């Protein structure tokens, strides 16, 4: 199959065609030619859209699909289809399932389930058995089966020695260890950012301090052990500062931030809409500004949707009783593109995560494998339930203004376009 992408502005700093408008000819999954004008003489499959832009394929490093065990929230099949139509050519799937992905058979199950789909799936296996934080899981065996990192999703490791041993052990096979930034002793039963809004609304507070203490502990451990540490979905200004200082010391630490923590504050909680109940909780305008600055300066390596589907029974209850989590694949681009420069966004969703997770580098250059996201960065619209493709509808971005429309992806010699 041969595909011709017409008049596409290429956003890829690794490509000699960066910021240039070109035609791209793809044959058998590889980029055959890039030129000012390529005639469609043989009636190639044609991609021609308004204000068409392309970049290397987007990689979302924190996605939950539910399967196995929570198929009512999202299946792998539907989740990967949603990811493709949302512009993602690859996703890293959390061990947020029942049973937990904590052994090689479970890792292989995920990989086999995803076989043949357009978007690539990479498992993040549990760091501890059943994600209980007590005994380390079979990390080496799971990496050999295809796991690209290890972490207990949204569950902090309270045992200091266990985290120390994990960082030491994973070095034997260049493993990447996740540590969720939350100290449960400090956070307690807090469900909202501890501050003015939580006090006004009568919601139990989860202080930023709970995040800072955990990150500080993990960075001290990393300095002692060496190895590679990833801190997912940070949410505060102080967290940015802590990680910045650790990077200055030369520690191998990376971090991510979610789209909702880059764009939404705890002012949203005045509606008591449980779609705004997240973990970590939404923070303040000061935190948002620091997180955005952290992305621009390179301290924050990755932007993620932190896509976490929840069925209606878990959300249509009192705010205090609702489960934390929001979906985000469909809204990530439109939300983040509204507050960040396009090139900053592209770098944190393409080259940086690929490097940290040791995936094959992508480039929009002749002779390279076609791994491409296709979009319009200027289209403005209001995000509604009609834009949600996921099985679950728990989006924090409903009725929010968006900037940027995804047309689709080309990867694995397959073209997926939104109708």
Whether 394 and 317 have beta carbons less than 8 Å apart is answered as no
Whether 62 and 18 have beta carbons less than 8 Å apart is answered as no
Whether 122 and 92 have beta carbons less than 8 Å apart is answered as yes
306 is catalytic: yes
SS3 content of the chain, % helix, strand, coil (to 5): 35, 25, 45
Token pair for 87: 């512009």
| Three-state secondary structure string covering 26-48 | EECCEEEEEECCCCCCCCCEEEC
Q: What angle do CA 60, 35, 351 make, to 5 degrees?
A: 20
Q: What are phi and psi of 136, to 5 degrees?
A: -65, 140
CA–CA separation, 287 and 277 (whole Å): 17
Give the H/E segment covering residue 53. strand 53-56
Give the H/E segment covering residue 296. helix 285-297
Q: Say whether the peptide bond before residue 68 is cis (omega within 30 degrees of 0).
A: yes
- Burial of 101 by CB count in 10 Å (0-12 exposed, 13-18 middle, 19+ buried)? buried
Catalytic residue among 60, 102, 152, 306: 306
What is the CA 334 to chain-centroid distance, rounded? Answer: 14
CA–CA separation, 121 and 138 (whole Å): 20
Token pair for 373: 């996201």
Token pair for 396: 């924090």
Cα 157 to Cα 95, 153, 169: the distances in Å are 15, 10, 16
Q: Which residues contact 386 (CB under 8 A, 6 or more apart)?
A: none
Token pair for 328: 């985000």
For residue 27, what are the β-bridge partners? 2, 30
Token pair for 127: 């760091």
Catalytic residues: 306
């Amino acid at each position: 199959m041969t595909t011709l992408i017409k008049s596409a502005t290429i956003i890829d700093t690794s490509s000699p065609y960066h910021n240039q408008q070109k035609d791209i000819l793809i044959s058998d999954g590889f980029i055959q030619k890039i030129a000012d004008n390529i005639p469609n003489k043989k009636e190639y499959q044609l991609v021609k859209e308004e204000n068409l832009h392309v970049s290397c394929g987007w990689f979302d490093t924190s996605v939950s699909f539910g399967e196995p065990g929570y198929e009512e929230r999202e299946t792998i099949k539907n989740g990967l289809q949603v990811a493709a139509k949302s512009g993602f050519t690859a996703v890293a799937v959390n061990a947020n399932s029942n049973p937990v992905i904590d052994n090689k058979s479970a890792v292989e199950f995920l990989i086999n389930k995803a076989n043949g789909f357009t978007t690539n799936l990479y498992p993040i296996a549990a760091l501890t058995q059943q994600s209980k934080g007590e005994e380390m899981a079979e990390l080496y065996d799971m990496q050999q089966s295809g796991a690209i990192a290890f972490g207990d999703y949204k569950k902090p490791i309270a045992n200091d020695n266990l985290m120390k041993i994990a960082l030491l052990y994973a070095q034997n096979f260049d493993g990447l260890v996740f540590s969720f930034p939350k100290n449960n002793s400090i956070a307690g039963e807090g469900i909202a950012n501890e501050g003015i809004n939580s006090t006004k609304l009568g919601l139990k507070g989860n202080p930023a301090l709970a995040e800072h203490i955990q990150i500080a502990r993990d960075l001290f451990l990393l300095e002692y052990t060496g190895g590679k540490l990833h801190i997912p979905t940070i949410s505060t200004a102080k967290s940015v500062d802590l990680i910045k200082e650790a990077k200055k010391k030369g520690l191998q630490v990376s971090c991510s931030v979610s789209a909702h923590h880059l764009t939404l504050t705890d002012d949203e909680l005045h509606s008591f809409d449980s779609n705004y109940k997240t973990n970590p909780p939404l923070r303040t305008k000061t935190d948002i500004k620091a997180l955005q600055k952290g992305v621009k300066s390179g301290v924050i390596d990755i932007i993620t949707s932190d896509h976490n589907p929840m069925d209606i029974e878990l959300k249509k209850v009192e705010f205090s009783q609702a489960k934390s989590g929001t979906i985000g694949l469909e809204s990530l681009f439109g939300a983040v593109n509204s507050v960040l420069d396009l090139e900053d966004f592209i770098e944190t969703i393409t080259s940086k995560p690929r490097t940290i997770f040791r995936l094959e580098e992508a480039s929009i250059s002749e002779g390279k494998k076609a791994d491409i996201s296709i979009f319009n960065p200027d289209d403005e619209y209001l995000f509604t339930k009609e834009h949600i493709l996921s099985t679950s509808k728990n989006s924090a971005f409903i009725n929010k203004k968006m900037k940027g429309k995804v047309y689709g992806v080309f990867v694995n010699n397959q073209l997926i376009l939104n109708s």
